[in-house]
Amino acid sequence: MSTTLLVVQTLNGLQLGVLLFLIAAGLTLVFGVMDFINLAHGVQYMLGAYFAAAFYGMTGHFLLALLLALAAALLLGLLLEILVFRHLYGRSHLDQVLATFGLILFFNEAVRALWGSSPLSYPMPEALSGSVALMPGLLYPVYRLVVLAAGLGVALLLWVLIARTRVGMRVRAGASNADMVSALGVNIRRLFMIVFGVGTMLAGFAGALAGPIFAVEPNMGDNFLILAFVVIVIGGIGSIKGAFMASLLVGLVDTLGRSFATDLFRLVLAPAAANQVGPALASMLIYLLMAAILFWRPAGLFPSHGQ
């Protein structure tokens, strides 16, 4: 296990963590404030990547494509809230799961019909296509550092929005006791629309940033959705701070586990056994972590005040 590889994989884990946070932040607010299970949230990540690829093809400009993708993700999220989601408020979680699972199937087939099943790609900005020397012998892609910085910047901005604004105060109160907030005269439907809009825009932003790194293809949001649910369970439902800390933790554990689990098991097992046990356990690490944290803190690391 070299120091260079450890630093690279740690940065990769942090990058995965900030992408997870962009997805999980909206999901935890929707779940915490509205008690709404939205399985289609991963679709917004996928659509953000597809929108960015489509707008890049039209404009040839990465930043403009990114901004247009954000606007498209926001508009689509608001449209879905008006046409579909608001009719599911107050319904059972089973109804919400079935309806949003149907949206997953619909949008996965829709992107196949519009863009085909073959993976798409679009380049990162030329100014960000190089590498930077972090230490002697270690070059790391500039774009990945920008993704990490952008995720941290959005996390700071979201914290300011939630902790320091009137809308954020209402969101925090809604996460603690939505019925009381509604009884005090707050337009809870408008609050729900704001939460949905911000959540879908953040997920779309994550997809647009990830497009030049990962393949843009149908179903690309499914694995991230599973990880995002793990994040909000670990961090605490309705907690932005919990989502941020848990996202970084899950990103690091998943990335470092997949990279070094086999090497660590070789210290105590025969090489053949380590080659079998290492990858199998690495894929389970985040779920073992979730089980351990829930045993220790059933409400998550940083639950909202209402839990």
Q: Which amino acid is at 297?
A: R
Q: How would you class 56 by CB atoms within 10 Å of its CB: exposed for 0-12, middle for 13-18, buried for 19 or more?
A: buried
- The separation between CA 116 and the C-alpha centre of its own chain, rounded to angstroms, equals 24
Per-residue tokens: 257: 């586990």
Structural domain boundaries enclosing 209: 3-296
Q: Evaluate whether residue 305 is within a structural domain.
A: no
> Helix, strand or coil for residue 113?
helix
Q: For residues 89 and 86, what is the distance between their CA atoms, to the nearest angstrom? A: 5
Q: Evaluate whether residue 127 is within a structural domain.
A: yes
> Helix, strand or coil for residue 277?
helix
**41-94 pLDDT, tens per residue?**
889 999 999 999 999 989 888 899 999 999 999 999 889 888 888 888 878 888
Q: Are 259 and 181 in contact (CB under 8 A)?
A: no
CATH of the domain at 227: 1.10.3470
Q: For residues 206 and 203, what is the distance between their CA atoms, to the nearest angstrom? A: 5
**276-294 pLDDT, tens per residue?**
877 888 888 889 899 999 8
Q: Evaluate whether residue 252 is within a structural domain.
A: yes
Domain count within the chain: 1
Quote the pTM value: 0.87
